Copies of this chain bind each other. A is one copy, B any other.
Amino acid sequence: MLSFSSHFLQKSFYQDAKDFNEMLESLRKEMDGDEVGYYKLPQNSKNLLQKLKSMDTDRFSQVVIVGIGGSSLGIKAINSILKPITTHAKEMIFFENSDPLTISENISKIDKDRACFFIVSKSGSTIETTSIFKTLIKHFSLELNNATNIYVITDKDSYLSKFATFYNIREFNIPHNVGGRFSVLSAVGVVPLYAAGYDVESILDGAAEFQKSFFDGHENHLLEKANYIYANSNKENINVVFSYADRLENFTKWYVQLWGESLGKLDEDGKHVGLTPIGLIGAVDQHSFLQLIIEGPNDKSVTFINIEDFKNSLSIPDITLHGIEQTDFINKQSFNKLINEQCKATMQSLIQSGVSSDTITLDEISEKNIGAIIIYYELLTSLIGKVLHINTYNQPGVELGKQILYKNLGSN
């Protein structure tokens, strides 16, 4: 279960309650239409899961993902969070970057006979992905024809799809109307996470339940938050997610892509608009970034994410050390309590310092909670995109760099 609280200090909401309803309806209209497909994933991916039941996953113990951006960030986020509670989960190895040292190091971790390879690219021609795939084919002498240890996840009719058809390699498709950064609940996340042994059905259930609750009008705090962020977007244009759990670091990276790539756009009038996402980890970043939030410019709002029950009883021993006796007041407390008290104290210090904040509390680490917080952020992003009057779902700004690269490397 997720619970929410907020301390939005500026109180400069743009719209009244009646308009909240309009915001909800405009999103419902988008959900019911054909242009934006991610809303239907929590339901439709259940059918996909049924088809996966025939997949013999016992054959392998390593799940290798070749993908970058939306083709890896969501999978990594879920893997990091659920691994500690999924004892039978298989090792996942991610090839993302074109960094030669990382590729070489990752190759050395792979046991070819135990590994299953997932090649993930929505467009089907991502240069990092295809280059690394070729490298793996050569290094491990992978047999392509009728391969049973290679799976392709891509758009229908993409180049990579044609490749899969030619070599008779099993292929899963991403709906055309689901963008990369909104695709984690499509085949992109569902297939490899199922293969790795995760309870994907519960992730989808958690997302479906939260989405239903939102459209049933029971999550109006989300409308309030979208409205607040929009209304203060000129002043508080940096949105920090401060997660109090190390394992949420990859989730914050997923958030950074979702937020930055969706909301940084030229608007209808050609004006540069956008909100800058930053991911922090508590308590570590209390010793780094916090000073800037408190005493720097008032250009940030902060969302805390914390986990109520880590299901871990590790406690600070009741030991007195000569010299540092003054730390004894914390003896016998659990680290679970310490990190949550640190979150609470940081939040209180922000409130006293006039920084807007809100909190999302996960009662525990669970598949349902992960599904819920994923759809929470996707819905929030869509809501803000709507009121900013931008196209939330494209990314035209990255094309120029690609063109320059291809030209410099001699592509025709």
Contacts and interface: CB of A to CB of B under 8 A. Distances in A.
Interface of A: 68-70, 73, 84, 96-105, 124-125, 127-128, 130-131, 133-135, 137-138, 144, 159-167, 180-181, 237-238, 244-247, 253, 256-257, 260-261, 263-266, 272-278, 281-284, 286-300, 310, 312, 314, 316-317, 319, 321-324, 326-327, 329-331, 333-336, 338-339, 341-342, 344-346, 348-349, 352-353, 395-398, 400-402, 404-406, 408-412
Contact of A322 (B133, B166, B288, B310): B166
A69 B284 contact: yes
A256 B135 contact: no
B408 A104 contact: no
Given A101-B84, A292-B274, A319 B165 contact: no
A323 B162 contact: yes
B411 A299 contact: no
Nearest to A278: B278
Main secondary structure of the interface of A (DSSP, over half): helix
Contacts of A133: 321
Contact of A166 (B293, B314, B323, B329): B323
Given A68-B287, A131-B335, A134-B321, A261 B292 contact: yes
A319 B346 CA distance: 54
B264 A404 contact: no
B312 A292 contact: no
A257 B410 CA distance: 40
Contact of A265 (B144, B167, B296): B296
A350 B409 CA distance: 18
A159 B324 contact: yes
B163 A324 contact: yes
Contacts of A349: 400-401, 404
A215 B127 CA distance: 44
A158 to B, nearest CB: 9
A99 B245 contact: yes
Contact of A287 (B165, B281, B398): B398
Contacts of A161: 323
Given A69-B288, A283-B98, A329 B411 contact: yes
Contact of A130 (B134, B283, B287, B324): B324
A412 B329 contact: yes
A73 to B, nearest CB: 7
A246 B290 contact: no
B101 A346 contact: no
Given A316-B135, A342-B405, A345-B408, A400 B294 contact: yes
Contact of A339 (B97, B164, B181): B97
Nearest to A137: B319
A98 B346 CA distance: 14
Contacts of A341: 405, 408-409
18 contacts: A69-B288, A98-B335, A101-B247, A125-B324, A128-B283, A160-B323, A165-B323, A167-B322, A264-B295, A272-B296, A287-B398, A290-B397, A292-B397, A294-B397, A294-B398, A295-B397, A330-B411, A341-B409
A396 B288 CA distance: 12
A379 B118 CA distance: 46
A396 to B, nearest CB: 7
Contacts of A395: 291
Q: Which of A180, A238, A317 has the most CB of B within 10 A?
A: A317
Contact of A237 (B134, B297, B348): B297
Nearest to A354: B272
A291 B259 CA distance: 10
